[in-house]
Amino acid sequence: MSEHVASLWAATATPAPDTQPLIGEVSVDVAVIGAGFTGLSTALRLAEGGAKVVVIDAYEPGFGASGRNGGQVIPGLKYDPETLDKLYGEATTEFAGRTADATFALIAKHGIACDAQQHGWIQASLKQSHLPLLRTRMEEWQRRGAPVEMLDAAGMAEKTGSERFAGGWIDRRAGRLHPLNYARGLAKAAIAAGVRVCGDSEARSLTRTESGWMIAVGSRGKLRANEVVVATNGYTGRLWPKLKATVVPATSIQIATRPLPEDLLAKILPERSVVSDSRRIANYFRIGPENRFMIGGRGPFGAPEVPGHYRRLIAAMHTLYPHTRELAIDYFWAGRVAMTRDHLPHVHQPAPNLTMALGYNGRGVGLATSLGQAIGAHLLDRSAPLPLKLTDITPLPVHGLHPIYATAMINYYRLRDFFEK
């Protein structure tokens, strides 16, 4: 069995479920490829509806972004409600607004122990010029009845313990969780509902047969299924033509400090809200397990080096909270997020009985969970609508060069962020 990345999450995780590799030939109603939040929540919903389901993962449940992220459960999509209404219709906006509530409800329903707390998310601004946009966003959600509120600089200092912010807004639908425990808990709930979850089971090929689909699994497994769901997000390989080229697998990096001493713990994020900032290349932070301060942000393409690639993050932490200079950093880790051109996730159905969902742009804890549940419901009953329009698989131009052009874009955005007031 694979070992999970050496993150703070892995160090504080509940034991992984027993997920033996798939060996021999197995036939099911639905095969799900990828055991992250998308795949596991799809499988759970399907099994609850009576389908026979197998989930396979190249490594283990939560191996990908789902077991490594910031654990911030944030509702919404890239676009604000009024734009979403115009582009996709009110049902999509409503879906986007409910993703955090739906995730916390799913966790409660299955009794998943993952430190789930609905203590709010703050979108914090270091820039005076961002505040009008944040106010519009807040007001649009407020008109829809969401528990949201604007914060001025003094309010931000009180809620975050940092004097650096010009303002922000808080969304109390949001909150935090332990992502690896959540992924493992979802896997256990799926197994309890009758799903077979197989680790160390890479899908090596996906082919159409007369009666459905055939997946070659590892070197010794064959999985036959009437229906297939591909849920591989930033870890998408060459399983289906051009799918990999629809997303840029960007690296998000994180650090976690030594446990905070009592005085800092009382000052930093006293309500235990989670925070991300409003810049184009944003950082996100929170208090994590063992009362450690955690901060994350954009990393390099390719494997980040410690401490080199993490220096910017460490400097950002010291600027926000000068007292953290005294604290050693115990954990450094990274994972892949799947970025799309329009900053929205995509659902594809490129062939009969084949569904793919990916591209959460670094905001997938609530979204992937909710989309997976919706896909499961839709596959059980095709009259249950999907919350997002289906799109064609459209590769990004010169995708192979993404480490070059995406790095250039990131540097350009960083420069714009820097010069903004």
Q: Which residues bind ligand FAD (CB under 6 A)?
A: 33-39, 56-59, 63-66, 68-72, 74, 202-203, 231-235, 237, 239, 252, 254, 284, 296, 335-337, 360, 362-365, 368
Q: Residue 213 CB, nearest distance to ligand FAD (Å)?
A: 14
Q: Residue 13 CB, nearest distance to ligand FAD (Å)?
A: 15
Q: Residue 41 CB, nearest distance to ligand FAD (Å)?
A: 8
Please give the Cα distance from 85 to 79 (Å, whole number). 9
Q: Fill in the amino acid letter for 406.
A: A
Q: Which is nearer to ligand FAD, 33 or 210 (CB)?
A: 33
Containing 100, the helix (H) or strand (E) segment is helix 90-109
Q: Residue 199 CB, nearest distance to ligand FAD (Å)?
A: 9
Nearest to 60 by CA among 205, 180, 161, 198: 198
Report residue 393 as tokens: 């698989």
Please give the Cα distance from 21 to 30 (Å, whole number). 17
Q: Which is nearer to ligand FAD, 167 or 359 (CB)?
A: 359
Q: Residue 87 CB, nearest distance to ligand FAD (Å)?
A: 21
Q: Which is nearer to ligand FAD, 38 or 324 (CB)?
A: 38
Q: How far apart are the first and last CA of the chain?
A: 50
Nearest to 281 by CA among 252, 318, 320, 246: 252
Q: Which is nearer to ligand FAD, 210 or 251 (CB)?
A: 251
Which position's Cβ is nearest ligand FAD?
Answer: 364
Q: Residue 358 CB, nearest distance to ligand FAD (Å)?
A: 6
> Helix, strand or coil for residue 400?
helix
Instruction: Note the helical H segments in 291-364.
Output: 311-320
Please give the Cα distance from 230 to 54 (Å, whole number). 12
Q: Which is nearer to ligand FAD, 132 or 303 (CB)?
A: 303
How would you label 171-192 residue by residue, b for 16+ Cβ within 10 Å and e otherwise? bbbbbbbbbbbbbbbbbbbbbe
DSSP type of residue 399 = G
Q: Residue 152 CB, nearest distance to ligand FAD (Å)?
A: 25
Q: Residue 337 CB, nearest distance to ligand FAD (Å)?
A: 5
Q: Which is nearer to ligand FAD, 159 or 336 (CB)?
A: 336
> Helix, strand or coil for residue 160?
helix
Q: Which is nearer to ligand FAD, 261 or 307 (CB)?
A: 307
Q: Which is nearer to ligand FAD, 89 or 237 (CB)?
A: 237
Please give the Cα distance from 302 to 300 (Å, whole number). 6
Q: Is 72 exposed, middle or buried (CB count within 10 Å of its CB: 0-12, 13-18, 19+)?
A: buried
Containing 180, the helix (H) or strand (E) segment is helix 179-192
Nearest to 369 by CA among 16, 22, 102, 26: 102
Please give the Cα distance from 144 to 127 (Å, whole number). 26
Q: Residue 280 CB, nearest distance to ligand FAD (Å)?
A: 17
Q: Which is nearer to ligand FAD, 193 or 230 (CB)?
A: 230
Please give the Cα distance from 309 to 68 (Å, whole number). 17
